[in-house]
Amino acid sequence: MAVIFLYFALFLGVHYLSKQFLDKPSDRAERKRPGAAKLFQLIACFILLFVFFGFRDITILNDTSHYYGFYFQKAHILSFRNEPVTTFHLLDKFEYGFQVLIHILIKYVSKEPYTIILLSSFVLTIGELWFINKYAHDIAKVCFYMLIAGLFFTHYCIIRQAFALMFFYAAFVSFEKGKMLKYYLLTLCACLFHLSAIFLLFLPIIIRIKPTKRNAIIAIGISLFLAVAIFEILAFLGLKDHPYYKAAIQKDSLSIVGLADCAFMIFVLAVCILVRKRSGAPPPSRTFFWICVIGLCVSLIAPVLYPIARINEYLWPLILIHLLKYIDSEAMKAPYTQRIEGTRSLMRMLVIIVFLTKLIGINTFRPEWLHIEPYQFYDFSKKDHTYNLYPQE
């Protein structure tokens, strides 16, 4: 993990450097230039993220080799290259938007299979930084938190859903501005890249519900009921032959990764509640209240049927933003509180320790969940690459 930790430290280096290099002893009147500091952070973070993830070897992150192999196979099929880019292949089991994207890249850009890794990393890096910039002053520090929380590793891994996530980022900003038509149009675009985005169509409806403790308890109770009865419900809906159903019901125990994610979610939300009570900050907005409740509800079902945790991939960045507004107000644009510095400092340290402990634990005991070590760059000079590394179940 030494290389990974050094990589994390680079973002903290950018954070501190952005404060120091702007000081001009000869011109004290212009020592503070937040615009220049933010631009420096955006450029530096873009380089760090894109180089690390955009040029990773296909052994890094679970799904990298999977998408690399899919692109490689399609690029070597003559009929695929000659057919219209709008052709849909049901047996490919990928959403229509992603199939069209692959078709366009192979036909008009490059047959090199690493193209999809470069493009997805480029788009995702821009999208992540754009979204973070909407909510944070300190881009590098938020990137640091998202890295140690494992969010960036997951996002760069799940390439199809990463494209859907970018559409959701834009949709959520539109939602906050009250532009509902734009929200639904962008969410429908997200659905073309990952079907899990269908849930996002119902998000505004849920957010309309009054944010009370009673309604939150009802929602949690429903999720616990679903966790117990999920297989019976799926069987009743005729989904017994679905691969996710078969894989989950054949297990004799709860999903370990689901339990870990659930514990992680409970910890994050507990910190938010504790800091809010200690600081006397106002309650969170209706939007963030329900996003946190939905995230918890999904996490309670995930140990039984882990694929449902895909929904939380859209919510985790928002929940982390919510957390940082409590514990690291200086980094955020609209913090919930500026008080109780001692408590916030303690919570920051606790959060960083827990995040890093989780990442170390995964790498030590369940490295197959991420595949981030040993890190290495992709060898473009190598003619043949073995891509069937981590078979998809």
SS (H, E, C) the chain: CHHHHHHHHHHHHHHHHHHHCCCCCCCHHHCCCHHHHHHHHHHHHHHHHHHHHHCECCCCCCCHHHHHHHHHHHHCCHHHHHCCCCCCCHHHCCCHHHHHHHHHHHHHHCCCCCHHHHHHHHHHHHHHHHHHHHHECCHHHHHHHHHHCCHHHHHHHCHHHHHHHHHHHHHHHHHHCCCHHHHHHHHHHHHCCCHHHHHHHHHHHHHCCCCCHHHHHHHHHHHHHHHHHHHHHHHHCCCCCCHHHHHHHCCCCCCHHHHHHHHHHHHHHHHHHHHHHHHCCCCCCHHHHHHHHHHHHHHHHCCCCHHHHHHHHHHHHHHHHHHHHHHCHHHECCCCCCCCHHHHHHHHHHHHHHHHHHHHHHHHHCHHHCCCCCCCECCCCCCCCCCCCCCCC
Distance CA 166, CA 122 (A): 12
The answer, yes or no, to whether the previous bond of 204 is cis (omega within 30 of 0) is: no
Predicted local distance difference test score (pLDDT) of residue 29: 46
Distance CA 173, CA 376 (A): 36
Predicted local distance difference test score (pLDDT) of residue 30: 47
Residue owning tokens 């590098």 = 140
Of 34, 21, 37, 53, whose CA–CA distance to 126 is shortest? Answer: 53
Of 262, 382, 279, 265, whose CA–CA distance to 335 is shortest? Answer: 279
User: Percentage of the chain with pLDDT > 70?
Assistant: 93
Is residue 7 exposed (0-12), middle (13-18) or buried (19+ Cβ within 10 Å)? Answer: middle
Angle, alpha carbons 211-135-342 (nearest 5°): 80
Predicted local distance difference test score (pLDDT) of residue 393: 44
When mean pLDDT is compared across 115-119, 187-191, 248-252, the lowest value belongs to 248-252
Q: What is the pLDDT of residues 34-66, one digit of tens each?
A: 678 889 999 999 999 999 999 999 999 999 999
Predicted local distance difference test score (pLDDT) of residue 337: 67
Distance CA 333, CA 189 (A): 29
Distance CA 64, CA 390 (A): 9
Count of C-beta atoms within a 10 Å radius of residue 97: 19
Q: What is the pLDDT of residues 274-325, one digit of tens each?
A: 988 888 788 889 999 999 999 999 999 999 999 999 999 999 999 999 999 9
Task: Please check whether residue 106 is in contact with residue 74, taking contact to mean a CB–CB distance below 8 angstroms.
Answer: yes
Predicted local distance difference test score (pLDDT) of residue 390: 57
Domain boundaries, the chain: 209-339
Q: What is the pLDDT of residues 224-274, one digit of tens each?
A: 999 999 888 888 888 777 777 777 777 777 889 999 999 999 999 999 999
Sorted by sequence, the CB contacts under 8 Å of residue 215 that are 6+ apart come out as 209
What is the reported pTM? 0.92
Instruction: Give the residue-averaged pLDDT of 177-201.
Output: 97
Distance CA 164, CA 241 (A): 26
User: Percentage of the chain with pLDDT > 90?
Assistant: 72
**Within 13 Å of residue 211, how many CA atoms lie on the same side as its CB?**
13
Q: What is the pLDDT of residues 10-38, one digit of tens each?
A: 999 999 998 876 555 444 444 456 678 88
pLDDT confidence band for 339 (50 / 70 / 90): low
Distances in Å between the Cα of 328 and the Cα atoms of 5, 37, 145, 339, 341 are: 21, 18, 10, 11, 9
- One-letter amino acid at 10 equals L
Predicted local distance difference test score (pLDDT) of residue 254: 87
State the virtual CA torsion across 190, 192, 196, 200 in degrees, nearest 10.
Answer: 40
